[in-house]
Structure 1
Amino acid sequence: MLPNFYPDESADSAYKVDYKALYNRGYRGILFDIDNTLVEHGKDADERAKKLIRNLNELGFKVCFISNNSEERVKRFNKDLHQNYVYKAGKPSRTGYLKGVMILETTLSNTVFIGDQLFTDIYGARRAGLKSIFVNPIGKDTEIQIIIKRYLEKIVLYFYRHSNTKRKSRK
């Protein structure tokens, strides 16, 4: 059961993912969570986020934001980025992810999802058949339900990292 929540890859942050390597491996679409993945919860796109998205577009990636937030929140984040988005995505339901792939006109096999929550972001991406990259959250969580989820995520991440160590030692 725990492997259902395991990402395909992980990185310290969305800003440390090797996007050029993803592009060279044939990926052309990126679906991003917003809050605590690209910016602190509720914040507008900052210069770092703007630069990342600009660089991804220059590399040849199509980008779409997938968020459970309201359209107002996602529009506000996206106002200077001008990317596609799906709001009220219902993660971990497959629907928002599939809609994002359709909007980008990419495929499940050449699109990657990047997010900071195992039980919504990564689980949903796996359910949709997408490659997933888990990144450490930006900022502190203040809502109790998120704090509890983060504690449970630590348990899953322990087993995920332990299983990766075992696989690497067998090679």
Structure 2
Amino acid sequence: MFRCFFPDEYVDSTYVIDFEKLYQEGYRGLIFDIDNTLVPHGAPADTRAIALFRRLKKLGFGCCLLSNNQKKRVASFNDAVQVNYIENAHKPSVRNYNRAMEILGTNTENTIFIGDQLFTDVYGAKRAGIRNILVKPIDPKEEIQIVLKRYLEKIVLYFYEKEEGIS
């Protein structure tokens, strides 16, 4: 019933993902959500995010930020990390997931999406046919509409963890 929302992988943080292994497996494009995936909601790019993107570029990954936020927020974050970006993405619509792959010159076989929300990030990536990694939110302080979605996410994650044998 909830399988369309189940992530392909679920990890504690973006910063624990083994990107070297993903590169060895043939992945070349990484699409990221920003808020609560890379930094707390509304925060500027911090030294950890900047170092991550520097490392990813050095490995040979193409990276694109895909955010439902407006241009001012996304562009200001991107000023520090210097990758491709798409603002006002209307996730979970697949249109901009596909556009991100076009920008990166990748496809559904060699692209991964990383985000913190099931109903926008993961669902959109699944609809676009992209492998996805759900990360736990960095900061529990969120806008009210996201807080409400988190209650529903807990239900889906309960069934996901039960099916995966995670306790």
TM-score (norm 1): 0.94
How many pairs were matched up?
166
- Give 1:162 deviation, angstroms: 1.0
Partner of residue 50, structure 2: 50
2:66 aligns to what? 66
1:23, 1:108 → 2: CA distance? 15
d(CA) in 1 for partners of 2:7, 2:164? 11
- Tell me how far 1:144 sits from its aligned partner: 2.0
1:129 corresponding residue in structure 2 = 129
Is the contact between residue 86 and residue 100 of structure 2 (CA under 8 Å) also seen in structure 1? yes
**Do residues 153 (structure 1) and 134 (structure 2) align?**
no
Amino acid aligned to 2:125: A
Q: Distance in 1 between matches of 2:22 and 2:31?
A: 13
Cα deviations by residue, 1:73-99 (Å, 9 ceiling, x for unpaired): 100001021100011110000011111
- Indicate the RMSD between aligned Cα atoms, in angstroms: 1.0
Contact 2:36–2:138 under 8 Å retained in 1 = yes
The letter for the 1-side match of 2:73 is: R
Could you tell me how far 1:18 is from its partner in structure 2? 1.0
Judge which range, 139-148 or 126-135, deviates more.
139-148
State the Cα deviation string for residues 95-144 of structure 1 (Å, max 9, x = none).
Answer: 11111000001111100000000000000000000000000001123322
Residue in 2 aligned with 1:141? 141
State the AA in 1 paired with 2:3. Answer: P
Structure 1 distance, partners of 2:142, 2:25, is 38
Q: Secondary structure at the match of 2:35?
A: coil
Displacement after TM superposition at 1:151 (Å) = 1.0
Q: Which aligned pairs between 1:1-171 and structure 2 lie closer than 5 A? A: 1-165=1-165
Cα distance in 2, alignment partners of residues 6 and 44 from structure 1:
29
CA distance in structure 2 between the partners assigned to 1:17 and 1:71 by the alignment: 27
3-state SS in 2 of match to 1:138: coil
Percent sequence identity is 54
Amino acid at match of 2:126: R
Q: Which runs of 4+ in 1 moved over 4 A?
A: none
Letter aligned with residue 81 of structure 1: V
AA in 2 matched with 1:117: Q
Deviation (angstroms), 1:67: 0.3
Gaps of 5+ in 2: none
Residues 41 and 142 in structure 2, CA contact (< 8 A), matched pair in contact too? no
